[in-house]
Amino acid sequence: MWSFARSAVRAYRSSFIGSFLIVMSAAALLSANGVLMESGLRGDAPLLTTVAASFAGTAILVVVLVVASTFASALRQRNAQFALLRAVGATPTQVRAMVTAEVAIVFALAAPLGAVPGLFAARLLTPVLESGGIVPGGFELAISPLPVVGSLFLLFPTALLAARLAAREVTKASPTAAVRGASVEPSSLSGARRTTAVALLVSGLLVAGTPFIVPGTLGSAAGATSAFLLISAAALAGPAVVGMIARRAAHATRSSSNAAVMLALVNSRGFSRRLTTAIIPLALFLALGTVQTGVNGSMVDAAGMQLRAGLGSAVVITSADGVTTEQAAAVASTPGIDAVVASSTVPAEVKVDSDEDLGGLSWEQTGLRVVSGGMSGLVDVGVTAGSMDDLTGPSTIAVSSESLFATGKGVGDTVELRFDGGAEVSSTIVAVYDRGLGFGGYIIGESSLPSSDREAAADVLFAQGSADLAPIGLQTVSVDDYVDETVAGAASQQELGAILLFVLIFFLAVAAANTLVMLTSARRPEFVLLRRIGTTRRQLASMISVESVFVMVMAWAIGTLSVIPALVGVAYGMLGGFSPAIEWPVYGALSGAVVLITSAATMVPARIAGRARNR
């Protein structure tokens, strides 16, 4: 069995190179992510744990989908060979064992080659982690073999399952049926597959509706995952959908005398499975980029909107080095200015969940907004219960409704706080408010803060009225300018997220291109046959162009359709509107990339294959 597998690896070099590359980059991606996660847990950098964990969710989903589809398409090309083996006496068990052996060979070589560099590549992120304030300066990432083991643990069964599923069609059928059926792919779906696709579709649409019920970032984050559910539904239903559309298109162009278009469409009709494996990674590429940037963008927009609404007609008073207590007192006594609120941010960890301590996980890193002075009439954070005036009392806190979501807590309950100096405080909730994105999840009165953690200078003052404050070294800014500045700052804080997202969509782009190259290279015999019966090179080239346009359009349509429900939900949850939260420049760039990847990855190998002589 091993010698068979070894010679298969040699004979199908191009498709193995494809699988090899994908396993390598998948292992690198997962082990780098694992390093971040492990360092966060060990090095007591809870924010790093949070970021790495939230990235891991998406990354694992994407990697599993990609690895599975790569192995499936690499092995599907060889159905004819497996059928032949069955016909000459290989039992289904032997064919399965061979597939397992081949997957194992690829893994044994590729996974270490990817995972080990991935461990060290994570270190490249240290500067970004430091500048984004996710880890303290001088933080060392912990390097251990655990992430490598973890990524193998995840990838190997995935690949094995996908490979066996791909070979299953052959191993299930009788040898003769297998030999006969090997050249065409059925576009019909099995009952279980259809049921799963429908279930995924329905749950995708339901999940997309979460923001209509659950408020704020939580609901939106949940809603955003609907894009993946819908893509998975498309992946399962793909052969039927692609086959149907190609059949319709072939029917519609029946009277056309353009042979290239006709051939391309009947090819798509006949190989809907093969095409689905090419379309899905591309659609995922578009969907992932669009949905993540859309969610991030609308989160920033929503924060700006809440801030603007909450500040109303206030003026914002700042200086480059913060506002000292003396300056604040001077402002308060300036004629024409009244109702001054000083605001600053203090880092702290919050434990909302009163459950057992789950390692470092139940303490959540956050920033507390510390205010002094009466907020009523000046800053409206959208109080839904209690009163912000009670913040003057000892050990009190106001919490956004989102931070309290699903904890079952409300006014009168307590929240545990832990500060940098190690001081732990148990604060009583006196108010619950809505505008958490704009003003932060927690607001605390200065008097409730341990004295060691009080800042020397406030970040800003919010006040009413107008006066020239230049003599005491302060400037007034309009609310609009202040909001714009804050929003720009928030966007740059998402740098790490943006880098991780870029790595992930780059991985997807490689995977999509790789699948297309594998599929096109494997069609060499078909191209030779077409040349033999009188297809010119130009016709072959235009046939391939039409096919790649078909792939492009399908990928673009599936990618777009699968994110729209999520982005409509997010837009509603964050901004209260119904127009989907799409970052148009990003969407445009990703759509362009889909076109580029598809054309490059089909035309180039097709040119090489097309050079084949006609005999």
Partner 1 sequence: MISSTMAGPARLDSAVRLVHLTKTYPNGPEQVAALQGVSLAIQPGAFTAIMGPSGAGKSTFLNLAAGLDTPTSGQVIIGDTDITELSSDAVTRLRRRQIGFVFQSYNLIGHLTVSENIQLPMLLDGRRPDEQWQQALIDSVGLTGMTERLPSELSGGQAQRVAIARALITRPTVVFADEPTGALDRRTGEQVLDVLRGTAKRFTQTLVLVTHDPQVAATADDVQFLADGRLAGELVAPTTSQIAARLVELGR
User: Which residues contact partner 1 (rule: CB under 8 A)?
Assistant: 180-181, 183-185, 255, 257-259, 262-263, 266-267, 269-271, 526, 529-539, 613-615
Shortest distance, position 72 Cβ to partner 1, whole Å = 19
Shortest distance, position 259 Cβ to partner 1, whole Å = 4
- C-beta neighbour count of 319 within 10 angstroms: 16
| 474 in Cβ contact with 319 (< 8 Å) | yes
Shortest distance, position 407 Cβ to partner 1, whole Å = 58
Shortest distance, position 541 Cβ to partner 1, whole Å = 11
Q: Please name which of 180, 23, 30 lies closest in space to residue 102, comparing C-alpha atoms.
A: 23
Shortest distance, position 608 Cβ to partner 1, whole Å = 16
Bridge partner residues of 367 (DSSP): 347
Of the pair 57, 186, the CB lying nearest partner 1 is at 186
Tokens 């989903």 -> residue = 61
| 251 in Cβ contact with 268 (< 8 Å) | no
Of the pair 277, 427, the CB lying nearest partner 1 is at 277
Rounded to the nearest angstrom, the gap between the alpha carbon of residue 425 and the centroid of all alpha carbons in its chain is 36
3-state secondary structure of 344: strand
Q: Give the pair of three-digit tokens for residue 515.
A: 């699948």
Query: CA-CA distances (angstroms) from residue 429 to 352, 371, 414, 591?
Result: 11, 15, 6, 48
Q: Give the pair of three-digit tokens for residue 311.
A: 């500040």
User: CA-based diameter of the chain, in Å?
Assistant: 99
Shortest distance, position 248 Cβ to partner 1, whole Å = 16
Return d(Cα 567, Cα 571) in angstroms, integer.
6
Query: CA-CA distances (angstroms) from residue 109 to 76, 112, 301, 373?
Result: 22, 7, 46, 65
Of the pair 418, 524, the CB lying nearest partner 1 is at 524
Rounded to the nearest angstrom, the gap between the alpha carbon of residue 237 and the centroid of all alpha carbons in its chain is 22
| 267 in Cβ contact with 582 (< 8 Å) | no
Helices (H), 255-365: 259-270, 272-311, 325-333
- Provide the CB-side half-sphere exposure for 481 (13 A, CA): 8
Shortest distance, position 81 Cβ to partner 1, whole Å = 15
Shortest distance, position 163 Cβ to partner 1, whole Å = 23
Shortest distance, position 586 Cβ to partner 1, whole Å = 38
The residue type of 367 is G
The residue type of 21 is L
**For 246-269, what is the HEC assignment?**
HHHHHHHCCCCCCHHHHHHHHHHH
Shortest distance, position 172 Cβ to partner 1, whole Å = 17
Secondary structure element (H or E) that encloses residue 350, with its range? strand 337-351
The residue type of 42 is R
Return d(Cα 520, Cα 597) in angstroms, integer.
13
DSSP letters for 41-55: HHTT-HHHHHHHHHH
Helices (H), 312-440: 325-333, 436-439
Shortest distance, position 79 Cβ to partner 1, whole Å = 12
Of the pair 491, 528, the CB lying nearest partner 1 is at 528
Q: Please name which of 349, 340, 393, 391 lies closest in space to residue 370, comparing C-alpha atoms.
A: 391
Shortest distance, position 613 Cβ to partner 1, whole Å = 8
Q: Cα-flanking dihedrals φ and ψ of residue 376, to 5°?
A: -60, 135
